[in-house]
Structure 1
């Protein structure tokens, strides 16, 4: 489907073209940009509401600042679609998040306008400050550095660390705080209340506007007016709204709050701030989903709704002909409630992903036992550790890719102290269209070397339930990791009675004599399909669902290596240091000799695409597993002949 941009947007190939327009034309550019995003995302999919909320800001920044010389850093990047469209990628925007298409996030390899690659939150201030300090050192006094960060991302400790440094670094950095009370789900915590206090203080806002209006009419120079206004405004902040002194106490000059959808006000304000050196913060108030009524009303659903009818708002979902298996996330969400009803000490923690992880079900039913702590993975882990010291059995649900951000806490605060926290690592493996910043590739490799930790992965929903059940039993007193993929499982009839799984035990899925295929987690289902292909060729593969990578089922492995000299390992994780590596270590430690082929995520960055496309690319979909087995057996037959 060919989507045509509006007449002004259609002529903008780079921000230089935008800057040739008059200020009066920017409102129309914003409307065309917003409509283009709606048109393309409705047909091709992607993140949605976040970019609509910053359309005016995006236009204003590229209009005022000399990008790419002036360096613009986005936080997370969900909101950077307008930025991509204005910076030379309008005509390929329909390939956004598609296999071999452009990335859904800013990416340095993709454009010189993408000054910093992002995907995880709260990095923009640190990155922009680093750029500003480098420019200061090189004598580039005319260069601007702008970090755009949302109030959700501002909750993370890293953002506060960067603010603390920015205030004393004396570098030319502008921090734009995009305040919309949302990340993916509604924001939580004291910072949200603090920002609300600033934006809803009618006395302060009226006095501030009166002062600016008055000084604008005085016959004095622009610089004197601005300095005078700043001093008066600072006085007003101290008297009327003490809350707003948080940023100024960190030695950041604070401006705002202003309407983030008033394009003329934004342009005028940014023009003024260009002339003010040093660290400063502009607080703007926006609406996530602005310009699309349904997205404004339900911002969580419309964060990334999939394909939809832009006129009716109907989100297209294929109606299955028969009952479908649930998502692993929903199995977790319903199972933790069942377990919590059985065990009064169970609690749930998630860092800002209650909807994505499905902990929202427990938060609704048991609000005193399930908590969203904001985008604070480190805090989430150590909070869980603190709860565990008091006898609580905590299920800490974190996306695998985000768990990396709390590695020290998992090691120092949980593993060393042998605290029985259950880490449910959602989105483990290749997650699809979000790409390399979100792939859960490394958790096995970086946690397998940590003592006292149990690492497991279910092949199906029933195993997920049983691993969760096992992890909270009183006799289980170690950190327990359960990793599972994004999306749909394989069992429509998944709600089976709980059964304890002996820690460190696997199961034989099928017997065979020609080759042994060892799987960990959901890819075991790919192995099942591969075995059917191999059997159709007259081969007899054996399949073992290992379930645990730490501790390994050594009894089963002794059996396997005693019977087979051809072995394939399959995992939805990095093969370097992963499950396959653990099998090789066992083989070496016990003096076995076998031909072992490891299938999984290779030692390179895997880009974005649908999960099935990426599994095929990496060679561990059903066809890839069958091909690897055939190749090994062909080698065996050739050698024998």
Structure 2
């Protein structure tokens, strides 16, 4: 039964919200929170972060003239209340489903989403660009970047603030502090001071004093400036860092108290110049008991029972690849004290948390700082350690210059376990691991592997430990393994050598990574059509097993490469070798199967594979297309 929401029922767009009185807004926030909990219980998704910004979402849309004013949410996990308030309530129960709403902000979805965000720490840079574009166009517009305490750990946020402060941009940043608790607000005095320093009177007096200072001798002016800074910092020592970057700091304030939020945001809105940072303290999971009690504040959930908070999770048939990686790394580290684990704010998502439980002194979570993580790993490798820098494929893109410059050029043996390789389902295009094969296999000296199943992943962990001749990566998908038996311990693979998993004579299916099981199933189906089929697991995109590839090319009429990655990856490497070897000159029918050259929106992983044509049916169809024969005709023959 859905919650009763009489006020929320009146709000279809933010203009409706702005018709309500301040006294009505706490009730609206309560109804919005209930609606969000009910909706996410149906769809699953990110819950805790959104619950923490319900009052902030209401306040922002009440104070600012959206969509003319811009609100940018960073990362986007907390955008569900914003979506409900901006004309998407009727579709909120389609979150993260095929043809439904994205789980993140998305420009194509609504005019109230001025900037798409699913990777972190981009909001201040984007907001600064919007603010300056409005200035150049002669348009008065408020631009508000809402950034979390995790996102603000990334260097990009400080680069943007340094730029904004340097040009005295008219930009507003809301620091949503829901975890670090840098400086919790303490009672009425803190709230009074926040209203005071954000107000027009104080700011105008401060500007007058600054202008007066310019006319005073330098010695006296410096003393006056320092006295003013000291006075503010006695009450607000937290703001010093932001002030040094050129931002006017306000806070900290209680992000769940609308009687504080509204006047402060109005004061900030009416300020005439300069970048301003408002420090807001919120609580993830606020207002929903099971979320407040959970260790992770129910950050990301499956469908759940609203009353109990119990999630409807399926029972896995096989261990997840992430778990197999973490356990395998622990096993290897028990015999090798040089192994260290590095994560960029995703220890649980990458399996580094498993390693951290066993070896806390050898585990490093550097925060949302992929660039730093890569170069940090390079520094450890330069001193003889064996860093496993575990970063999702989509997030490793953020550290690509460091991969090239600090790791590859110096040929340092950094190991990159790449989780979430390939399609990821409900998180859509922003989180898909699409490009790592292409962007790593092109680098000189890089060894690039992909696991066909969970047993192969164990072997690749062991191989990575043993390999010290340069950088190495191994990729594996999200979710469960395929159910193969796991060896007690991984074996070291011969570098650059694949394997034949099924022998045939006419068709060759050469798989790289996660689509191997579909190749095996396709081969069985092709045999029913009378097409004798070989299946090979390449294991390596670099160095290629050229002997294996040449054998397949010479001894088969059709060669199909299959990978869950973008164009320009493994198939391109194979084609490049075959062309250079002259093996494309004698009638070989070859096709490369990759992810389609488009960004696929959210849908189930299985559906994504089907749409991409990388499943069993797609492989069989590609074989018959290469032969120039219809499947029905082949079956009749």
Worse overlay, 488-497 or 462-471: 488-497
Partner of 2:15: 16
Quick one: structure 1 residues 240 and 171, their matched pair in 2 at CA, closer, same or farther if it must change by over 3 Å? closer
Which residue is 2:605 aligned to?
Answer: 611
- Is 1:547 matched up with 2:539? yes
- Please, which runs of 5 or more residues in structure 1 have no aligned partner? 182-191, 217-221
Per-residue CA distance 1:98-131 (angstroms, 9 max, x = gap): 0111111111111111000111000000000000
Deviation at 1:507, TM superposition (A): 0.5
The corresponding residue for 1:46 is: 45
Partner Cα separation in structure 2 for residue 597 and residue 102 of structure 1: 35
Residue 228 of structure 1, CA deviation = 5.4
Change (3 A) 1:5 1:580: farther
Bigger mean CA deviation after superposition, 83-92 or 359-368 = 359-368
Give the distance between the partners of 2:202 and 2:351, measured in 1 at CA.
52
Counterpart-to-counterpart distance in 1, 2:423 and 2:473: 18
- Distance of 1:596 and 1:537 partners within structure 2: 19
Q: Taking structure 1 as the reference length, what is the TM-score of the superposition?
A: 0.91
**1:28/1:229 Cα in 2 relative to 1: closer, same or farther (>3 Å)?**
farther
Shift of 1:318: 3.0
Q: Which runs of 4+ in 1 moved over 6 A?
A: 229-233, 636-639
How far 1:514 sits from its partner (Å)? 2.2
Q: Provide the C-alpha distance between the structure 2 equivalents of 1:242 and 1:93, rounded to a whole number of angstroms.
A: 41
- Does structure 2 conserve the Cα–Cα contact (< 8 Å) formed by 1:519 and 1:544? yes
Partner-residue secondary structure (3-state), 1:284: strand
Determine if contact 1:49/1:299 at 8 Å carries over to the other structure. Answer: no
1:559 aligns with 2:551: yes
Secondary structure at 2:591's aligned position in 1? strand
1:359-370 → structure 2 map (5 Å cutoff): 359-370=352-363
Asked if 1:312 is matched to 2:308, the reply is yes
2:218 equivalent in structure 1: none
Q: 1:77 to 1:484 in 2, by over 3 A?
A: same
In 1, are the aligned partners of 2:284 and 2:297 still within 8 Å (CA)? Answer: no
The match for 2:529 is 537
- Structure-2 change in CA distance of 1:88 and 1:241 (3 Å): closer
Q: CA deviation at 1:527?
A: 1.0
Report the equivalent of 2:350.
357
| 1:357 CA displacement | 0.8
**1:531–1:269: structure 2 CA closer, same or farther, 3 Å change rule?**
same
Aligned to 1:590: 581
Say which SS state the counterpart of residue 539 (structure 1) adopts. coil
| Separation (CA, whole Å) in 1 of partners of 2:192 and 2:71 | 32
**Alignment-derived partner of residue 284 in structure 1:** 280
Partner of 1:184: none
Distance 1:382 1:432 in 2: 30
1:601 maps onto 2:592 in alignment: no
SS in 1 for 2:112: coil
**Residue pair 2:3, 2:34 contacting (<8 A) in 1 also:** no
* Structure 2 counterpart SS, 1:302: coil
Query: Quick one: structure 1 residues 433 and 419, their matched pair in 2 at CA, closer, same or farther if it must change by over 3 Å?
Result: same
The superposition leaves residues 476-531 of structure 1 with CA deviations (integer Å, 9 ceiling, x where unpaired) of 32101001111111136324332110011110010112211110011101111222
1:225 Cα shift? Answer: 5.3
Question: Partner residue of 1:407?
Answer: 400
User: What is the CA distance between 1:579 and its match in structure 2?
Assistant: 0.9
The answer (yes or no) to whether the contact 1:462–1:496 under 8 Å persists in 2 is: no
Change (3 A) 1:272 1:399: same
Matches within 5 A, 1:277-426: 277-300=273-296, 302-319=298-315, 324-426=317-419
SS of alignment partner, residue 257 of structure 1: strand
Greater mean deviation of Cα atoms: 381-390 or 272-281: 272-281
* Equivalence map 1:497-576=2 (5 Å): 497-574=489-566, 576=567
Match of 1:483 in 2: 475
597, 606, 625: which one aligns with 1:631: 625
SS state at 1:72 partner: strand
TM-score (norm 2): 0.92
Q: Is the 8 A contact 1:175 1:282 kept in 2?
A: yes
Total equivalences in the alignment: 611
- Alignment check: 8 A CA contact 1:211 1:229 kept: no
Structure 1 residues 212, 503: closer, same or farther in 2, change over 3 A? closer
Residues 118-517 of structure 1 aligned to structure 2 (within 5 Å) = 118-140=117-139, 142-181=140-179, 192=180, 196=182, 198-199=183-184, 208-209=190-191, 223-224=200-201, 227=204, 235-239=230-234, 241-276=236-271, 277-300=273-296, 302-319=298-315, 324-473=317-466, 476-491=468-483, 493-517=485-509
Give yes or no for contact 1:212–1:229 (8 Å, CA) kept in 2.
no
- CA–CA separation in structure 1 for the residues paired with 2:11 and 2:486: 52
Contact kept in structure 1, 2:318 and 2:481, CA below 8 Å: yes
Secondary structure of the residue aligned to 1:424 is strand
CA distance in 1 between counterparts of 2:553 and 2:193 reads 81
* Matches of 2:100 and 2:309, distance apart in 1: 26
Tell me, which stretches of 5 or more residues in structure 2 are unaligned?
210-226
Secondary structure class of the residue paired with 1:613? helix
Mark the CA change 1:212 to 1:371 in structure 2 (over 3 Å): closer, same or farther: closer
Q: Residues 180-217 of structure 1, C-alpha deviation per residue, up to 9 Å, x if partnerless?
A: 11xxxxxxxxxx4xx62x337x5xx775456578x79x
Inter-partner Cα distance in structure 2 for 1:268 and 1:470: 60
CA distance in 2, matches of 1:417, 1:132: 40
